[in-house]
Amino acid sequence: MVLDFKDKRVLVTGGAGFIGSELVSQLVEYGAKVTVLDNFSSGKRHYISKHKIRIIKGDVVDEKIVTKTIKDQEIVFNLAALPFVPDSYYYPVDFFRVNTIGSMNVLWASIKSKTVESFVQISTSEVYGSAQYHPMDENHPTAPYSTYAVSKLSADRATFTLHKENGFPGIVIRAFNTYGPRFTEPYIIPEIISQIKNGNKELHLGNVNSTRDFTFVSDTVEAFLKASQTKSAIGEIVNVGSCNEIKMLDIAKKLIKISGSNIKIKIDESRIRPYDVQRLNCNNSKAKKLLKWKPKISIEKGLELTYKWAMKNKVEFSAPFKRWYYKSTSA
């Protein structure tokens, strides 16, 4: 598939975030006229400020700003969200307000604009809960384990309802675990790197036997781009992942090896989620067939690239909420 974004008017909500900033970079390379809507609660302006793009500071829960921003846009990628699962246990109302109501604002404004040709709703594999069979395809039952996942599933359903009711060109991408440079939240890989970089003697981890399916951020974004230009993807759910399952313990060991550190792994029960997904493993056959997409970066190469970026840049996690429950493990 040859992607054509030349002079396309493209809106990326949450475009200053981890995945959003990579999406913006690739769109700029393709010659798109990019607008970013971000409240910078977790996104970093310096991740995107080098690009010649339009940046609007605003929140997707603000219906007026959303409506004004979407006017005349042709493609919308909705990435704006509160994404850090542990926060959702303590701030559930905020997660529904942003992830569900905020998405509804973006969806409805896109419909009313009458200019949006493609709408890509970025969802998550967390909506499936723990694997009931594997690898997990798009027909896997949805059994979310967190308020975050429930709020994202609600936005998925809203996308399809509006697609059916209005003929709206909505697509839902359920991304499995994405990793890479420019991270903004203490997900497992950034958290491990942070503890190593801080010179800790012990690497404090929670459930090291749970498994996830990791995809490097540039590969994930390529799937988003292809979805937006695949007419047959309209009205579809598409899983995006590597189809390679790996334990958290093995991720930690790989990063320790890359770093050359002597840090020792210690199980910290305070880091175990109260209701955790034990296993995620993507079946990406639909993405391969429908989008003509497949991941290119191996987990070993991706971890090396991520670690090198972190060594050259300040590891700075955002905290939209007071994480009073998250204990410090500084050595």
Alpha carbon distances (Å) from 80 to 68, 97, 102, 145: 16, 12, 8, 21
What does the alpha-carbon distance between residue 215 and residue 298 come to, in Å, rounded to a whole number?
8
H or E element in which residue 232 lies: none
Distance CA 211, CA 190 (A): 16
Structure tokens at 121: 């709703």
Q: What is the pLDDT of residue 325?
A: 45
pLDDT in tens, the chain (331 residues): 889 999 999 999 999 999 999 999 999 999 999 999 999 999 999 999 999 999 999 999 999 999 999 999 999 999 999 999 989 989 999 999 999 999 999 999 999 999 999 999 999 999 999 999 999 999 999 999 999 999 999 999 999 999 999 999 999 999 999 999 999 888 899 999 999 998 999 999 999 999 999 999 999 999 999 999 999 999 999 999 999 999 999 999 999 999 999 999 999 988 887 778 899 999 999 999 999 999 999 999 999 999 999 999 977 676 566 554 444 433 3
The per-residue pLDDT for 322 is 57
Taking alpha carbons only, the member of 246, 256, 14, 21 closest to residue 121 is 14
Structure tokens at 292: 């003509």
The CA-to-CA distance between both ends of the chain, in Å, stands at 50
| pLDDT for res 184 | 87
The pLDDT assigned to 273 comes to 76
The fourth-level CATH superfamily of domain 9-179+214-240 is NAD(P)-binding Rossmann-like Domain (3.40.50.720)
Verify cis geometry, omega within 30 degrees of 0, for the bond prior to 135.
yes
Q: Taking the alpha carbons of 304, 315, 84, 14 in that order, is the dihedral positive or negative?
A: negative
pLDDT for residue 327: 42
Beta-strand pair 264-267/202-205: parallel
Q: Which helix (H) or strand (E) holds 251?
A: helix 248-259
β partners of residue 180: none
